[in-house]
Structure 1
Amino acid sequence: MHFRLETDGDWPPASVESLWAFDRGDGTVRLDNTPWFVRGVACGDVLTTHPDEDGVHRPGQVVSPSQNADPAARAV
């Protein structure tokens, strides 16, 4: 699944982050890896999805959050 990223200057160093996702066959996917740059989602979250004009699956809303934390939300 491809997440578009907003960049500020040169950060993050990409405009898209690709995450592995398991297609649940009902219009939703379960994220199967931890995002580096995308905020607000975590591995194991279930999201709605929709294909863009190129057939690439884009994220919708989180419909079932996992018990995993968004790494960006943790204090360092």
Structure 2
Amino acid sequence: MAWSWRFIDDHGAVIKDEDGSEAGSGVEFPTQSDAESWIGEHWRQLSESGVHSVTLYEDGREVYGPMSLEPPE
């Protein structure tokens, strides 16, 4: 099984890399826990770079999301 995140901008569109592929599409995790730990460590940097929300996938199947990366007020 491979777990991955899809990055969404503030307009609800999937964020793309310069080559047109989904941003972060090459980053996969062996477990849900690993994926969630990674997002917990990197959400601030992602938010600052324009990622508004994320959706978690397992082998291409949506598990949950979109989950906002906006800091709490």
> Shared fold (TM-score greater than 0.5)?
no
TM-score (norm 1): 0.30
Q: Which has the higher contact order (CA 8 A, sep 6+)?
A: 2
Name the larger-Rg structure: 1
TM-score (norm 2): 0.31
